[in-house]
């Protein structure tokens, strides 16, 4: 079964052609970094407009590079949420237009679930597994009983981990998106120089809190209550130690909580997903500490992409059949207890 995957939840436009939920024939991503960089974050209206422009172009390119035609596509899978409502609507309308004109089945896919599935699509993962979602919008520990059956064990009470990286990057004078730049700066730094701490999450052992950590970094760089009047208090050469210490503290918390959840729920493996899973320091920490097999997404499947949407769409379709054309954008769709997407 050939699935066309469509991704437009935030600031990456993605089109992919995936066979039988596993084999990626084409996976095209158009990043919008150039568009949003000057604003230090994603501007929703600009993102939507770029999606309108890019989706047809990427589809044309994907068909060209695979020498396939629309006639060979069997199913259209589109990310229905969570994400920016305008951006989601563009992807959904594009998907619905194609489905209607080609009389093809359509299925809406949960973007966060797809991030977790990215590492599972080409591997034999022993279940139950612990899912660790680390993206720009989400940070969560999830018990994966089987595909489509999840239990939320914990999540962030404030910032998502990727969001914390992006904000710390701005404090350190690095451009958006900051995650990879903080990682790069941290490479030559001392991870134990600054004793930052993550927040306490009372009675919620698998929750996270990164906002206090972020403020501690701000105070270290700019002084408490803006005492430095916008000037940096630390020297340029010390910034790498701030980046390394922030990264070390944030990831140690994630690794410790992941391993303790894995132990408590007696899982057989750990699956990691989302943009932050690209970070080499995190991979090294968890690889060294985990007694269980770890499943990391292939580098081209860590960040937002349509291959993970197409692959999960295939499995969702096998399990629950197609959605109809009333499928709506779900900007705040919960990961667990997914609402039924059949609206009629």
The helix/strand/coil state of 139 is: strand
User: In this structure, are residues 8 and 50 in contact, taking their beta carbons and an 8 Å threshold?
Assistant: no
- In the three-class reduction of DSSP (H, G, I as helix; E, B as strand; rest coil), residue 32 is classed as coil
Instruction: Label the pairing between strands 75-81 and 2-7.
Output: parallel
- Under 8 Å between Cβ of 151 and 145: yes
d(CA 81, CA 333): 6
In the complex, minimum distance from the CB of residue 305 to ligand KG4, in angstroms, rounded to a whole number: 8
Q: How far is the CB of 2 from ligand KG4 (least distance, A)?
A: 25
* Partner that binds at residue 258, options Zn ion, ligand KG4, none, CB closer than 5 to 8 Å by kind: none
d(CA 265, CA 267): 6
| Minimum gap (Å) between residue 231 Cβ and ligand KG4 | 26
3-class secondary-structure state, position 306: coil
Interactions with ligand KG4, residue window 74-133 (CB under 6 A):
115
14 lies in the site for ligand KG4, by CB under 6 A: no
Chain position carrying tokens 């020297």:
235
Assess 304 for contact with Zn ion (CB under 5 A): yes
Q: Does residue 7 interact with ligand KG4 by CB under 6 A?
A: no
For the window 249-288, what string marks contact with ligand KG4 as x by the rule CB under 6 A? -------------------------xxx-xx---------
Closest distance to ligand KG4 from the beta carbon of 136 (Å): 3
Q: Contact at 8 Å (CB) between 78 and 51?
A: no
Q: What is the dihedral of CA 239, 244, 250, 256, to 10 degrees?
A: -160
For residues 154 and 264, what is the distance between their CA atoms, to the nearest angstrom?
A: 13
**Residue 199 interacts with ligand KG4 (CB under 6 A)?**
no
Q: Which residue lies nearer to ligand KG4 by CB, 63 or 141?
A: 141
| Residues that contact ligand KG4, how many (by CB under 6 A) | 21
**Residue 135 within binding range of ligand KG4, rule CB under 6 A:** yes
Q: Which of 137, 154, 297, 310 binds ligand KG4 (CB under 6 A)?
A: 137
Which residue's C-beta sits nearest to Zn ion?
A: 304
Do β-strands 139-146 and 149-155 pair in parallel, antiparallel, or remain unpaired?
antiparallel
Select 63 or 138, whichever has its Cβ closest to ligand KG4. Answer: 138
Residues forming a β-bridge with 13: 30
Question: For ligand KG4, which stretch binds (CB under 6 A), given 24-32, 93-101, 157-165, 318-326?
Answer: 157-165
Q: Is 189 in the site for ligand KG4 (CB under 6 A)?
A: no
Q: Does 21 bind ligand KG4 (CB under 6 A)?
A: no
161-171 vs 179-186: helix crossing angle, rounded to 10 = 70
Quick one: which of 170, 147, 158, 152 has its CA closest to 22? 147
The H-assigned helical ranges of 225-272 are 239-264
- CB nearer to ligand KG4: pick between 76 and 140: 140
User: If binding is defined by CB under 5 A, does position 201 make contact with Zn ion?
Assistant: no
Residues within the interface to Zn ion (CB under 5 A)? 135, 304
Residues within the interface to ligand KG4 (CB under 6 A)? 10, 115, 135-137, 162-163, 165-166, 177-180, 183, 274-276, 278-279, 303-304
């Amino acid at each position: 079964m050939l699935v066309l995957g469509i991704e437009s939840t935030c600031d990456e436009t993605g089109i992919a052609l995936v066979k039988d939920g596993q084999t990626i024939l084409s996976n095209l991503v158009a990043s919008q970094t150039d568009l949003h960089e000057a604003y230090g974050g994603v501007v929703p209206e600009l993102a939507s407009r770029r999606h309108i422009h890019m989706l047809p172009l990427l589809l044309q390119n994907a068909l060209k590079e695979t020498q396939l035609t629309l006639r060979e596509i069997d199913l259209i899978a589109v990310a229905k949420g969570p994400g920016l409502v305008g951006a989601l609507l563009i992807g959904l309308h594009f998907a619905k237009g194609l489905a209607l004109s080609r009389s093809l089945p359509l299925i809406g896919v949960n973007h966060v679930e797809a991030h977790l599935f990215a590492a599972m699509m080409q591997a034999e993962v022993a279940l139950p597994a612990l899912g660790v979602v680390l993206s720009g919008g989400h940070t969560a520990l999830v018990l994966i009983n089987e595909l489509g059956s999840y239990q939320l064990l914990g999540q962030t009470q404030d910032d998502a981990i990727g969001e914390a990286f992006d904000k710390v990057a701005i404090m350190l004078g690095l451009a958006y998106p900051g995650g990879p730049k903080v990682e790069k700066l941290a490479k030559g730094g001392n991870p134990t120089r600054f004793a930052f701490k993550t927040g306490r999450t009372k009675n919620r052992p698998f929750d996270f809190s990164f906002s206090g950590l972020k403020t501690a970094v701000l105070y270290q760089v700019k002084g408490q209550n803006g005492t430095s009047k916008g000037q940096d208090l630390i020297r340029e050469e010390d910034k790498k130690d701030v980046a390394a210490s922030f990264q070390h503290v944030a990831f140690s918390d994630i690794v410790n909580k992941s391993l303790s959840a894995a132990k408590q729920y007696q899982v057989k493996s750990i699956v990691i997903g989302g943009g932050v899973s690209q970070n080499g320091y995190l991979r090294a920490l968890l690889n060294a500490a985990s007694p269980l097999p770890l499943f990391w997404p292939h580098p081209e499947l860590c960040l937002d992409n349509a291959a993970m949407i197409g692959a999960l769409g295939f499995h969702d379709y096998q399990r629950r059949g197609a959605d109809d054309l009333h499928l709506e954008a779900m900007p705040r769709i919960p990961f667990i207890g997914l609402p039924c997407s059949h609206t009629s």
